[in-house]
A and B are shown apart, each in its own frame.
Chain A
Amino acid sequence: DGGITQSPKYLFRKEGQNVTLSCEQNLNHDAMYWYRQDPGQGLRLIYYSQIVNDFQKGDIAEGYSVSREKKESFPLTVTSAQKNPTAFYLCASSSGGKKGSPLHFGNGTRLTVT
């Protein structure tokens, strides 16, 4: 979906370094989400945001941080405190609200930490 852009596609970092994954959307969506996907596994929620300047922890927030200073942007920082950061990271957005609506995903960032 051209409406959500994640960059970079591949990212390599040394252990102990913080790294920030970019997520930008031009769909005018209020809600944005970060998921982590490990090989052969489902999608686990890291953080989500329903509105600018507000965000909530998901199921696996430890070792991660986010910000939501602009409606279109929701960057994710993987800190050195995250024990197993190597994974495929997916950003998504939806129009938000109490009634669910389709979740649109970016193409993902594959992070490798050695």
Chain B
Amino acid sequence: GAVVSQHPSWVICKSGTSVKIECRSLDFQATTMFWYRQFPKQSLMLMATSNEGSKATYEQGVEKDKFLINHASLTLSTLTVTSAHPEDSSFYICSARAAQGVVINEQFFGPGTRLTVL
């Protein structure tokens, strides 16, 4: 149990286009989902925290108009990278926190999405 999926697993896009990444909790409800960015050989950087039905909370230095987050249901959050540029190329990882159950407060991580902007 507690499986989180991401789609797509990798995407290549042209500079200036927008890319949407989906994060789904497959077998549990997640009131909170987190979006991280990971540069090569570096740690995870928390970008934002999204709560179902409300606006996401962005970390300092993360542009909310560039990285649009929507958490429309208890099993789905999306991250849209708008007007992508090569510097947005990175590995994006989501995690989900269970709303109930014995592992409440635990974060379960998705497999990540590799974004390459040409």
Co-complex (A, B): no
Which B residues are within 8 Å of any A CB, using their own CB?
Answer: none
